[in-house]
Structure 1
Amino acid sequence: MASPPRPHPLARAKPAIWADRAVQALWDGGVTAKPPLEPEFLWSVGSRGFDSEDEHAGRSEAEVEDFRTRLDRLCTSLRGEANLSALGHTMAYGQLTSAIRKRHALGRIWRESPELATTEIAPPILIVGQMRTGTTRIHRLIAADPRHTGTRFCNSHYPVPAKPDLRPLKAGAALAIARRINPWLDTLHPFGATRIDEEIGWLAAALSPATFEAQWHIPEFVRWSEARDPGPVYAEFARILRTDAATMGDEALPRAIKCPQFSEDLPALLAQFPEARVVVTHRDSQAVLDSSVSLIASQMAFQSGQADLATIQAEWGRKLALREKRIEQALSEFEGHVARVEFEALGADWRREIIRIYAALEIEQLPAALAEIEREYERSNTGAHREHRSQIARFAEA
């Protein structure tokens, strides 16, 4: 289904406006109480039904403290800076209680089966680069090679394994709701419940700023997090990855993993996977900023009571410059395999670029693997995300 016209980066769809008004009406009429974004209250909701030991299982005390501190700082920023709409407040409540619940559920699994968190896995292939630089395309092309693997969208956002595995159904339902609220979602990123996707859900489960700063105006939390050691976040990330590999039965296959947040935290990620191979994506900086602002504005528009385009542009100009600097600093000290790819070159001749990437990473090139990669390319080449460039062009003309 074609998306409706998007006249402005901060445009809101009618379902989002209606949902926001409905939530506010429920609060105003006393039908339901507005949930406070206070750590203690959120913790009481998210930890309900779990043992207190589940918070600690598999984790050091420093890692336990890091999550608690992140929750406190994020809540302070949400209450004081974010100016959330009723819908945004509800989404923040849902995401934070969900992160606490996942934290405990994973801890319970590691308490009962500690070996899952330390599963031996093949060194991963890290796709590192700014958002909007072709990371998703490269990620999915490499993961399409039968000798590799990737993380399903549903596994990223629902990292707790269970039998039967109902995560694809849950993710499909969540995406259906998200598409109603934001009908331009698939023009920004090609989603699918079981498609290979970035592991941003695992970072969110550890309260990395990755997913939150793309939705809410929380500069104090973002600056604090940028200055803080992300080691505890990536220790949790590694445990989730190892657990996912064990439960999916693909621990022997190198997993292609990606998230733009990696560019900010690369030393911490490489500390967990020192033998990883790295692919770095590049694109014209203005094009990256324009596309990033469009994506962020689309998410903030319906979650903020007063989203401001100039503020978003300034923040993400700063953010992209910081990430670019950190990528190069980290790679200057990395002695492993690194391949670099330009966005425009990938679009011009993807086969040539994949062959070049494989050569740089010293991965054997097999015709059968290339055929599978080509099938993924053809699948992704017809997605709704191709509309995004025309949206940005219209914004510039307005």
Structure 2
Amino acid sequence: MRPRVLEREALMDRVAAKTGLSDFGDPWFHRSYDALVDAVKAEARLNPAGEFVAEMQFEKVLTDRALAQRWFSDHPEILQRALPRPVIVVGPMRSGTTRMHRLLAADNRFQHLRSFETISPVPPQDFRRGDRNDDRVTMARKIQRMARLANPRTLDIHPTGPCEPEEELGLLVNSFWGMKHEVQWAIPSYGRWCENTDARPAYRQLARLLKLVSWSQQKSSLKPWILKTPQYMLDLDAVLDTFPDARFIFTHRDPKAVVGSAASLAWNQTILYSDHADAHALGREWLRKTEQQIARMRRARERIDRSRMIDVHFEDMDGDWQGVMRRIYGFLGMDAEPAMPGMGRFISRSSALKRKPHRYSLGEFGIEEGEVMERLADYVRAYDIKVEDPVRRRA
């Protein structure tokens, strides 16, 4: 088996030779790429499958960056498109952000990203607008099939399909940025590097890619986006600067469930790529990460006018999702009733996608429930979050 190539310049040369394109956009990404590769080499302890996936993933992102620059050069009107008043769902990982995002995405008055577009946000070189045959859908279906074969739990934890609404993690991966990498590999030094680095260049690229996706979908640039990814908890200042007129929906959940579910999600990804994963070390890192997310979110919220944000609790959505959604639409100044049939269909479809419940416990990651509550007690009090003892081990 040949040695895997991860070095940035070598892969950039390979992509340039394959595509004939050598412009990869803002060179800021060199810093995040190098920080990520250094952490992967020093900490991830990848198995052969992990090494293969890392090389292919890095090469694909570089290819996407080069192709994006070509689209922007050939069609300068793309970057002139507006991104008016997006609705951004912000919450800790596993706090109900996916459910909220997909319910809103069922309303055709908004636009959203689809799963195949977060995997491959940049259309291929031979793409034609309006073409119904998009090879990216086929590739996404294959990737998701392989993920289920490798570990059936991964798609039970986060059910999806190639054309299902999906978050913008792939648009941040395009800058080699964010928690997507930390869920995939045990690389705590990279996580800390990101936490201490200005995220704004990554979000400028995210905005450019949203314009490209909207243009390729032939959607009106006046239609607001529905956006969400837990990464926004850490980068809310950059989000606010990138989308100054955004409206925000903040989701909250018992932190014991948040930490346990997030650790379980990361564990079920990490063990695919490393034979040396440490459940207790991973649990400690995601407890720290959750605490960091909440602290940063709370600080950044001070910049947002109360008229532009609303808080939603996980348990309220469980008990009466229609009532909560009507309250959200009131906050948005929109009539909820036209969206209700589509949201009902989403609820039915999501039940079909989720084959098995996601079961987990804090104990399997070496974490005591009392410690979580002690470290995050102020968050629970500040947002009047309902906690359960013991925490329900699902979702």
Which residues in structure 2 correspond to 1:94-133 (within 5 Å)? 94-133=56-95
Q: Quote how far apart the aligned CAs of 1:345 are.
A: 0.9
Q: Quote how far apart the aligned CAs of 1:395 are.
A: 5.9
Uncovered stretches (5+) of structure 2, i.e. residues with no partner = 366-389, 391-395
* Aligned equivalents of 2:313, 2:151: Cα separation in 1: 30
Give 2:284's match in structure 1, choosing from 292, 296, 314.
314
* Aligned equivalents of 2:36, 2:16: Cα separation in 1: 18
Give 1:304's match in structure 2, choosing from 268, 274, 286.
274
CA contact (8 A) 2:84 2:245 kept: no
Give 2:189's match in structure 1, choosing from 212, 220, 224.
220
Pairing 1:166–2:135 present: yes
CA contact (8 A) 2:249 2:309 kept: yes
State the partner residue of 1:196. 165
Uncovered stretches (5+) of structure 1, i.e. residues with no partner = 1-26, 28-32, 57-62
State the partner residue of 1:276. 246
**Alignment partner of 1:281: what SS?**
strand
**Alignment partner of 1:211: what SS?**
helix
Q: State percent identity of aligned pairs.
A: 31
Give 2:40's match in structure 1, choosing from 63, 78, 83.
78
Letter matched to residue 261 of structure 2: S
* Aligned equivalents of 1:252, 1:176: Cα separation in 2: 35
State the partner residue of 2:315. 344
Q: Quote how far apart the aligned CAs of 1:175 are.
A: 1.1
More displaced, 44-53 or 104-113? 44-53
User: After the TM superposition, which parts of structure 1 deviate over 3 Å for at least 4 consecutive aligned residues?
Assistant: 49-53, 391-397
**Alignment partner of 2:32: what SS?**
helix
Give 2:329's match in structure 1, choosing from 345, 358, 365.
358
State the partner residue of 2:147. 178
Q: Quote how far apart the aligned CAs of 1:53 are.
A: 5.1
* Aligned equivalents of 1:91, 1:200: Cα separation in 2: 17
More displaced, 87-96 or 243-252? 243-252
Letter matched to residue 247 of structure 1: S
CA contact (8 A) 2:248 2:309 kept: yes
What is the TM-score of this pair, normalised by structure 1? 0.85
State the partner residue of 1:388. 358
Change (3 A) 1:366 1:72: closer
Letter matched to residue 82 of structure 2: E
What is the TM-score of this pair, normalised by structure 2? 0.86
CA shift digits 1:117-153 (9 cap, x unpaired):
2312332110111111110100011111121121111
* Aligned equivalents of 2:225, 2:64: Cα separation in 1: 22
**Alignment partner of 2:9: what SS?**
helix
